[in-house]
Amino acid sequence: MVKIIVAVLSVGVASAFGTISEFPIELTSLMDQTVDPCTDFFSYSCGTWYTNTPLHANQSTTDATYAVIEAAAYKLVEKLVDAKLPKLTEFYDA
């Protein structure tokens, strides 16, 4: 799914900016310009990012979207656990 999103966004950016020399440095630094985009577009558009992004021991793939959502969910759960909320019994006793 991430590959499809990246490919679609890359095509959209390419059509909006024209040539590669007009891309922002943030995008070009993630691309592997040694790969022919006609043969392997994913490696061309995300190759440098993919090779430079470390995988944790429990990961088999990299999914930035899932990682962001997971981190936000953990923070929310931590806030709920740490909050000094009244016990349910106190609510019913009132």
Q: Please state, in angstroms and rounded to a whole number, the distance separating the CA atoms of residues 30 and 62.
A: 15
Tell me, what amino acid is at 86?
A: P
| Polymer length in residues for the chain | 94
Domain tally, the chain = 1
Q: What is the pLDDT of residue 3?
A: 61
Output the pTM of the full model. Answer: 0.41
Rg (CA), the chain: 21
Please list the pLDDT of the chain residue by residue as tens digits (94 residues): 556 665 656 655 555 555 555 667 777 888 898 999 999 998 898 888 888 877 777 776 666 667 777 888 888 888 877 777 666 667 666 6
Domain that holds residue 22: 2-93
